[in-house]
Homo-oligomer: A and B are copies of this chain.
Amino acid sequence: VANLLLALQPWEHEDFLPPTLRKRLESLPFDITTISPSALDSNAWEKILHDIKPEVLVSCWSTHQLPIDTPVSNEPSSLKYVCHLAGSVKKLVPRPLIERGLSVSNWGSAVSRTIAECALLLTLSALRRTSHWAIAMHRDGKWKDKSEVVTESLFGRSVGIHGFGRIAQQLVPLLRPFGVSISAYEPGMPDKTFIQQDVARCNSLEELFSHHDIVIELAAYTSENHHVISEALLSRIRPGGIFVNVGRGAVVDELALIRVAQQGVLQVALDVYEVEPLPQDSPLRGLPNVTLLPHIAGPTKDRRRDAGELALLNLERYVNKQPLDAEVTVEVYDRTS
């Protein structure tokens, strides 16, 4: 029986592996050890890897602080499969281990729809100025002045999306009932994908930012994408337009975004930032035309079990020597943040 190390904090366990999934895990031919990574320093973590010699590691967000690139990995390693419940494995798994044959999987597209949902929510919120009203109604005792209040609808708008990966593709069906026209910019994506989704292809970021009422940032972060959203691009959005970022903070030149936001002409709605946590003195805080969330786009607490479900399917595939779903190959590793 192979050893399986479950390195999760109790709340991660509860959210990602609720009782029905935990039962399915226990029915698999593994000798399971459960630890809470937050209680460990790197020495204790190294000793656990050495003593338990796991063949399979089930990891999550809090395992990031305990990378498996320890001296132990210089021994002939017992570890054959890292089943990561969350997204990015870069802090946990060093690239050479994947090159040498370690299998790694993550949540793939299991949670993409909840991030798409947050993109829709931030768009609707910016159009209605709900962030302004939350503060005005709760803190400042206000009511509207009917002749002055500005509210806008998503119906009939044009939406441009930077990036056309899993999340953007899950956003499209959420936008459709609003009768919007949708375009996207993602140079590497084949025409077929655009045609299947009935989304127009943009040929440049300049086109994307010039021709849409609403621009939604969903591009993956790569070295070429660093700060690619510049002041010149942001200024192309028509006055009264909307810029939403639920992708990666560093794709945007945040100082440029702050300057544009301070002009008060655009509505800006952000879930991600260049530096997280967002500094207390960030000029983004307090701007009336800016909606802020603390990087909570996804997955929501109630849908983390979708990532757990995918992990269970993968552990079952691993036991049956079938190919894994959402495998993090070297190519995927290099492409993701």
Interface residues of A (CB under 8 A from B): 9, 11, 61, 113-114, 117-118, 120-121, 124-125, 127-128, 130-131, 133-139, 141-144, 146-147, 149-156, 173-174, 176-178, 276-278, 280, 285-286, 290-296, 299-303
A128→B301 CA distance, assembly (Å): 10
Check if B137 sits within 8 Å of A128, measured CB to CB: no
| 8 Å CB contact of A121 from B130, B276, B286, B303 | B130
Given contacts A134-B292, A152-B300, A153-B302, 13 further A-B contacts (CB under 8 A): A61-B146, A117-B124, A121-B121, A121-B128, A125-B130, A130-B131, A137-B285, A141-B280, A143-B276, A143-B277, A144-B294, A152-B302, A156-B303
* Residue from B9, B135, B155, B286 within 8 A of A117 (CB atoms): B155
Separation of A144 and B292 alpha carbons in the complex (Å): 12
The listed residue with most B CB atoms (<10 A of its CB), out of A125, A138, A173, is: A138
CB nearest to A131 among chain B residues: B134
B-side contacts of A137, CB under 8 Å:
278, 285, 292-294
Contacts of A153 in B (CB 8 A): 113-114, 117, 299-300, 302-303
Using CB atoms, name the residue of chain B closest to A129. Answer: B296
